[in-house]
Structure 1
Amino acid sequence: MKIIIVGDGKVGFTLAEHLSREEHDVTVIDTNDDALRRASESLDVLCVKGNGASIMALRESGVDTADIIIAATSLDEVNMVCCLTAKRLGAKYTIARVRNVEYAVELSVLKKELGIDMVINPENATAVEISRLLRFPSAANIETFYRGRVELIGFRVQEDDFICGHSLAELNHRVKELPILFCAAERGDEVIIPDGRYAPQAGDKLYLIGQPIGMSQFFKLLGRYTPKVKDVFIVGGGRIAHYLTAILEGMNMHVKLVERNMDRCRHISEVLPRTMVICGDGTDQELLESESVSASDAFIALTDRDEDNLIISLYAMQMGIGKVIAKSNRQNYAGIARAVGLDSVISPKLITANQILQVVRGMENSKGSVMTALYKIASGNAEAMEFVVNQTTRHLGQPLKDLKLKKGILIAVIIHHNRIVIPEGSSSMSQGDTVIIVSRDQGILDVNDIFDESALDLSSAMGGIG
């Protein structure tokens, strides 16, 4: 597909990286020479220097034949004008990054009047993801499927966990009867799609998928079920903190927020009167101690500096706070943080990339099964996807045990007639079902992509010879 990305900042570069890797024809427009040079030298993309809202730059990039244009500059207004102009010049589908809180209540009108097909708000999406983690503190990360009725949870295996050192086949009946499935594991740089022989080791990051009630019961068995979060301490008063605090107030949580900018403090105090706002430096240890940070159930670092977020998060862990979450857009920092035990590291740019990749793959496969969700897991080395099965899907009604899937593929959940099923060998897919697939190192566009048809053809040929 021909895709134009306007704005080569953190989000734009990440999108260009993912989309060019999936062999799309990607063009990047930006006014910054250094950003374009970096993209040109490290990615297989075409670079155009110019203002993405200008007709000249858009025409030079071939907007009239573009399948998708993604406006991701730092200015909402430029992004909206860019989408309006691109649509008038012939672009098929437009995506705008709109971050301003004031625009959030007007999105439906903006989309209709400006011809924007999709609006992305990374800060709001990040706030929603953090709020999920606070609802389930035992998890390092949570992704949701099928309108929240299915969850995928990642957590770090500890030495005293009863699953440590024992194969999945050896687990007791209480675990096997839960509506959950061990769907992926991360051990160092290796990603594993588990079978019954897989034995979790201390330090592995294990991914579970299933119904929320099953998750709660599993963590109770594991002895890691933590009390409900009531008091939350947030450092940083930017847009993410604004959206998040509004959500947490709705969840009846008590929020204490530290922000160094006086104007931001006044604004947050006015629009969120139930939140205690403190004007000060959230990286100052004395301030944190004077505000009794250790008495909090959860600590969230949301400053503009990834380094500060990680440092103060490690301090919060040392203070014994039960749930610590840090924002970091740099993947190398996230890896360092996880190495020292800070597993809940949130990246707004990756959340945005996942949302857009889902749209791109859905448009690529417009005639096949519809992709309704896509998440990168295991440090981006695996994916979890939700599809709606239709008449184009092969092998409908055939037991899964008779199907040959490509290596590194797992059918994790089947939702049949609104009933959530953790599949067994006798399970099968039917038209209208929703299926959740976990894939390692595979770019899945359609349910049919999971089948190893060469193996099936070979077995048929052997049968014919016999």
Structure 2
Amino acid sequence: MLGRMNVVIVGGGEIGSQIAEALQHSHNITIVDTDPDRAAAFEAMDVRFVHGNGADPEDLRTAQAGRADAFIACTINDDVNVLACLAAKGLGAKETMAFVTRKRYVEAFAETGSMKTVGLVIDRLLWPQRTLAKQMVDIVRVPRAVISTAFADGRVRLLEYKLEPGDPFLHQPLAEVRLPANVLVAGAIQGDAFVIPSGRTVLAPGDKAIFMGTANSMRAFEARFARRKRHPNVVIIGGGNVGFMVAEELQGDGAHLTVIEQDEARCERLAKWLPGVLVLRGDGTDLELLESERIEDADALLALTDDDAKNLLVSLLGKQLGIPKVITRVGRSRNRRLFERVGIDIPLTPRTAAVQEVLNWLHLDNVEHLASIEDRAEVMDVVYPPSCKVGRIRDLGAPPRSLIGAVLRGDEVIIPTGETTLRHGDHLYIVTTPDNVGAVQRWLGQLQSVY
């Protein structure tokens, strides 16, 4: 989907507004929402606002959904999102995406699902809670890691650690540090600033260091910070969809799991679905309950209720009890920095990853935006164009505040140095700040125009 597109977004809440903000300057955006008061939030944007119901064909005609190159339904109501996409497809929308929170919709619209067999099609279903659960499981699996993610079908890995006294690689310029083979420092968060490292960069306790390397090298690298436990002890506060999916995945790893949930009926279902998991009915903010169950012995605590305030309190209690890893679900993206300021190391929101998935789905710029690093930096996958010069990285003049962390050439992963030669068709995994993405794209464009 290249060129200027007509994009219709049903739902003017946090997700809809973030998508609109990202697209407004390069595409024609229409927002549809049932709340007329939401129009004020879009007055400063170059978008069109339609007061209407996204599941009503007449309102969709008013929004010109039939001319949409991309139609995105991201309200908080699954049924509205699904009906809106089906109606828009019937009106002529080219591509449709629905946000959902229930597995049954994902299954129904799969290739062999019941809806597809009767001709009802939604091009993409996005389940943000599932994405969040997978992200959390990856972090739990690696002791001390604040971020754990993989690219290139798992062949390239990225790990972020909050550095402590006694950790390796501290107090000396990176040029003098002997990192393991096929591992590099791809970035660092020092205070509130994200730093693309140079040979002069010095890491200190309290910094967050981002390492990137091949899968095999990074598996061995983990032990430099902490060894994996064969059966970690994990406590989950909140047995909703995210809590259940996390528990289900970690149970397969052999983890010792405790789930604390307030709703009695939900506890009964969890106990049935998760045999071998200790399911307790109770309030995760009840310090007496936490102490009676010796929660302080946990290797990881996950605060996964639907209430940001409760998750914050649970997380602070976990930190007070000395639990090594506390992972917190944050419903509202704007609350994330607040959580960080009060000492929560791993606040995660499903909405940030969801918006990124939408932008990748649209294929806006021949760049795939793979991951966000605490909203301060991102990892891009760029294919080195055939019209660019083949040459050494040090000679190609990559823009400041960017770093090529890995190169995928066919099936081979290369952790590059300045002497590495880039070839046509290489996948470049570039770490940069969000405001510098345009500079990276212009750099590639300049290389094509010059050569």
TM-score by length of 2: 0.90
Deviation at 1:372, TM superposition (A): 4.7
Q: 1:333 aligns with which of 332, 335, 358?
A: 335
Distance 2:393 2:171 in 1: 29
1:386 corresponds to 2:381 = yes
- Aligned pair partner of 1:28 in 28, 31, 34: 31
Structure 1 residues 330 and 75 mapped into 2: Cα distance closer, same or farther (>3 Å)? Answer: closer
Return the letter of the residue paired with 2:29: V
Instruction: State the partner residue of 1:400.
Output: 393
SS in 2 for 1:243: helix
1:434 is aligned to 427
Which of 133, 152, 163 is the matching residue for 1:127?
A: 133
User: What is the root-mean-square deviation in Å for CA atoms of aligned residues?
Assistant: 2.6
Are 1:164 and 1:201, in contact at CA under 8 Å, matched by a contact in 2? yes
CA distance in 2, matches of 1:4, 1:143: 31
Cα distance in 2 for residues equivalent to 1:452 and 1:195:
25
Query: Does the aligned pair in 1 maintain the 2:260–2:280 contact within 8 Å?
Result: yes
* Counterparts of 1:441 and 1:344, CA distance in 2: 20
**Higher mean C-alpha displacement, 84-93 vs 233-242:** 84-93
Output the amino acid matched with 2:13. G
1:178 to partner: Cα distance: 2.4
The equivalent of 2:166 in structure 1 is 160
**In the alignment, which of 223, 238, 241 is matched to residue 239 of structure 1?**
241
SS in 2 for 1:169: helix
Match of residue 194, structure 1, among 181, 192, 197: 197
In the alignment, residue 285 of structure 1 is paired with which amino acid?
L
Task: Tell me whether 303-312 or 431-440 shows the greater mean CA deviation.
Answer: 431-440
Q: What residue is the counterpart of 2:51 in the other structure?
A: 49
2: CA distance between counterparts of 1:456 and 1:87?
40
Instruction: State whether residues 148 and 157 of structure 2, in contact with CA within 8 Å, keep that contact through their aligned partners in structure 1.
Output: yes
* 8 Å CA contact retained: 1:414, 1:434: yes
Partner of 1:423: 416
What is the DSSP-based 3-state SS (H/G/I as helix, E as strand, rest coil) of the residue aligned with 1:241?
helix
Residue 370 of structure 2 aligns with an amino acid whose one-letter code is L
Which runs of structure 2 are paired with 1:56-205 in the superposition (5 Å)? 56-108=58-110, 109=113, 110=115, 113-172=119-178, 175=179, 177-205=180-208
Which 4+ stretches in 1 moved above 6 angstroms?
Answer: none
Percent identical pairs in the alignment equals 32
1:6 and 2:13 are equivalent in the alignment: no
Q: Which amino acid aligns with 1:116?
A: I
- After superposition, what is the alpha-carbon deviation per residue over 1:252-272, rounded to whole angstroms, capped at 9, x for unaligned? 222211111122112222222
CA distance in 2, matches of 1:104, 1:454: 42
Tell me the CA shift for residue 304 of structure 1.
1.0
* Aligned pair partner of 1:212 in 207, 215, 225: 215
How far apart are 1:299 and its partner, in Å?
A: 0.7
2:372 aligned residue: 376
- The residue type equivalent to 1:376 in the other structure is S
Deviations 1:208-234 (A, max 9, x none): 11123333433433x444534522111
Is contact 2:157-2:212 (8 Å) kept?
A: yes
Contact persistence 1:403–1:451 (CA under 8 A)? no
Query: When the two structures are aligned, how many residues end up with a matched partner?
Result: 443
**TM-fit CA distance, 1:441:** 3.7
Per the TM alignment, residue 456 of structure 1 is displaced from its structure 2 partner at its CA by 9.1
In the superposition, relative to structure 1, how do residues 445 and 70 fare at CA in structure 2: closer, same or farther (>3 Å)? farther
Deviations 1:140-181 (A, max 9, x none): 112220112211222223343342331110103xx1x42112
Residue 22 of structure 2: aligned partner: 18
In 1, the alpha carbon distance for the partners of 2:310 and 2:93 equals 41
Q: CA deviation at 1:102?
A: 2.7
Q: 1:312 to 1:43 in 2, by over 3 A?
A: farther
* Partner Cα separation in structure 2 for residue 228 and residue 318 of structure 1: 25
Asked whether the equivalents of residues 138 and 219 of structure 1 are also in contact (C-alpha less than 8 Å), the reply is no
Q: How far apart in 2 are the matches of 1:275 and 1:13?
A: 39
Residues 228 and 353 of structure 1: CA distance in aligned 2, closer, same or farther (over 3 Å): farther
Partners in 2 of 1:265 and 1:454 — Cα distance? Answer: 59
Question: In the aligned structure 2, how far is the partner of 1:142 from the partner of 1:42?
Answer: 37
Shift of residue 389, structure 1, vs aligned partner: 4.3
Q: Is the 8 A contact 1:134 1:229 kept in 2?
A: no
> Residue by residue, what CA displacement relative to the aligned partner does 1:399-452 show, whole Å, maximum 9, x if unpaired?
222211222222211112311101123322334432211122446489864437
Q: Return closer, same or farther for 1:118/1:401 CA change in 2, 3 Å cut-off.
A: same
Matched-pair contact (CA < 8 Å) for 2:398–2:440: no
Contact residue 83 and residue 114 of structure 1 kept, 8 A: no
Structure 2 distance, partners of 1:107, 1:8, is 25
One-letter code aligned to 1:139: A
Q: Report the counterpart of residue 444 of structure 2 in structure 1.
A: 451
* 1:306 and 2:300 are equivalent in the alignment: no
Check whether the contact 2:333–2:351 (CA below 8 A) recurs between aligned residues: no
Q: Partners of 1:292 and 1:42 in 2: how far apart?
A: 51
Measured at CA, do residues 249 and 455 of structure 1 come closer, stay the same or move farther in structure 2, by a change above 3 Å?
closer
Query: Is 1:411 equivalent to 2:404 in the alignment?
Result: yes
Q: Distance in 2 between matches of 1:128 and 1:349?
A: 14
Gaps of 5+ in 1: 461-466
Distance 1:127 1:79, change over 3 A: same
Instruction: Report the counterpart of residue 463 of structure 1 in structure 2.
Output: none
Cα 1:325–1:122 shift into 2, 3 Å: same
Deviations 1:56-86 (A, max 9, x none): 2212222232221111122222211211111
